[in-house]
Amino acid sequence: MIAKADRSSSTPEVPRWRAVAEYLEMLISGPTAEQIRVSEAVGVELPAGLPAPVAAVVLKAGLSKVLFDPVRGGAEIPDSLTELEDELGITARAYLITDSRAEVSAWFAARYMVMTARALRDVMPEPGDVVRFGWAGEKRVISSIGPDGCVYMKGRPTRRSWPNHVEVVERVADPGYPAAVREIDAILRNQATYTSNFAKLAELRSFALDTHVPSPEAIRSLEELLESGVTDEEPFQKLVTRYPALLASTVVGGWKTFVIPKQRLGSEYVPDFLVLGLNSVGPEWVTVELEAPRHKILNQDGSLSGPTRQGVKQVQDWREWLTSHVAYAQTGLHLYGLTNKAPGLVIIGRDDPKAERDASRAQWEEGQRIAIHSWDWLLRHARNLSDSAVHVSGFARENAASLVDGGGIDANSMPEEDRVEIGDEASVDFEDLL
């Protein structure tokens, strides 16, 4: 067992990777002192250079009659073990004493200990280091190193890797370390799923709807504006700001619905509206871009019209900003649960169900998750919601279902103000790392 360093001592603490490497090398070199003591007591011979994992199997075999656990022999050294020894440059080959499968497995374990110890000394991984690992080259921050040499990563979903598959990208003292940590934090937040939490949305309470049901005057005002022939976008922006419940059907807000107008994202981007529905599944965000009703959704050839493309581009720009700045959005702007995965909604033009269907399907099939609907679509769902308080648009239902089916990281591990839970036994405050 690896002893913990005495932090009160003036002696420099041995790095964890080195302590583990030395421990593994000790197990590789021969039976432990305790194994030797037991072997002498029970009369089981243990060759001096027998690795400790193999010695454990030999001891157990020597006690098989006492333990009523007969040894099943007949095993042989497989070619794969010989190939592993060749790869490691080991000339003293494995040999069998009990001829059991357990002994073969113990030899494999001992040889992999050699590989792990060497990798620990080569890589010198330290908790806090930013590393790349796995076939996909995923980046994470090291949480700890296990007694077997396995490297554990901070964050959800849980990740671990053997050190021979780990590459150090940035160490804590490196100039690029803060940026690397921010990048990982953003990736984890954008991949996460979140639970509904009123406490984390306290700063947004002024945007919470008293009722998600649009009032009769809100519906009539939208009808009048659409029929008046007004062609500019601004009057519609003002109308929806005055009657935010007109957007309530775009989310499943069983617990509460929030409608936030003109929320600035950084210095460049200002979505017309951010809509948030809180329900038992989690926070359901939608980013909304309004375009004038005079515009066509599609060109005559079936392609997206210029204004429609512009609306889609706005949503894409917001998502790109969130990819790198999601931590600021969630903690600095208090937009808990908002990520670059939030569905987009472009409201443009007058009623053309086929055009809406074709445009939205194209965006969804391209993985954009950006729906395109007319002002008449919004008006219809506002009327339906006024008639039935439990009415939900198909757009909102599909998005809520995607929260359930989309997988992602355990929400319970995700942002708590400016902190991200990133390990089983600890969390890291990214502000402290920068």
Going by pLDDT thresholds of 50, 70 and 90, the confidence category of residue 365 is low
pLDDT at 384: 92
- Across the range 404-418, mean pLDDT stands at 40
Least confidently predicted of 207-216, 219-228, 359-368: 359-368
| Tens digits of residue pLDDT in 325-339 | 999 999 999 999 999
Residue 3 has pLDDT above 60, yes or no: no
Q: Which helix (H) or strand (E) holds 389?
A: none
Residues 111-117, mean pLDDT to the nearest whole number: 97
Angle subtended at Cα 244 by Cα 256 and Cα 254, rounded to the nearest 5 degrees: 20
Which tens digits make up the pLDDT trace of 168-220?
A: 999 999 999 999 999 999 999 998 888 888 888 999 999 999 999 999 999 99
Predicted local distance difference test score (pLDDT) of residue 430: 28
In this predicted structure, the answer to whether residue 417 has a pLDDT above a threshold of 50 is no
Nearest to 184 by CA among 235, 128, 224: 128
Nearest CA to 293 among 248, 332, 351, 366? 351
Per-residue pLDDT for 131 more than 70?
yes
pLDDT at residue 397 in the model: 81
Residue 413 is predicted with a pLDDT of: 34
- Gap between the Cα atoms of 381 and 388, Å rounded: 10
Reported as a single tens digit per residue, the pLDDT across 17-32 is: 999 999 999 999 999 9
pLDDT tier at 7, thresholds 50, 70, 90: very low
* Confidence band of 424 (pLDDT split at 50, 70, 90): very low
Q: With a cut of 90, say whether residue 74 has pLDDT above it.
A: no
- Roughly what angle, to the nearest 10 degrees, separates helices 216-227 and 234-242? 170
pLDDT tens for 345-360 read: 999 998 877 888 888 7
pLDDT band at 398 (very low <50, low <70, confident <90, very high): confident
Convert the pLDDT of each residue in 244-289 to its tens digit.
999 999 998 889 999 999 999 988 899 999 999 998 888 999 999 9
pLDDT for 2 equals 58
Give the whole-number percent of the chain exceeding pLDDT 90.
Answer: 68
Mean per-residue pLDDT, 95-121 = 96
Q: What is the pLDDT of residues 36-71, one digit of tens each?
A: 999 999 999 999 999 999 999 999 999 888 877 777
| Mean pLDDT to the nearest integer, 382-402 | 84
What pLDDT shows up at residue 23?
A: 97
For residue 396, pLDDT beyond 80: yes
Instruction: Report d(CA 289, CA 263) in Å as an integer.
Output: 12
Mean pLDDT is lowest, of 34-43, 162-171, 295-304, for 295-304
With a CB cutoff of 8 Å and minimum separation 6, the contacts of 299 are: 305
Angle of the 79-88 helix axis to the 101-123 helix axis, nearest 10? 20
Cβ atoms of residues 236 and 224 within 8 Å: no
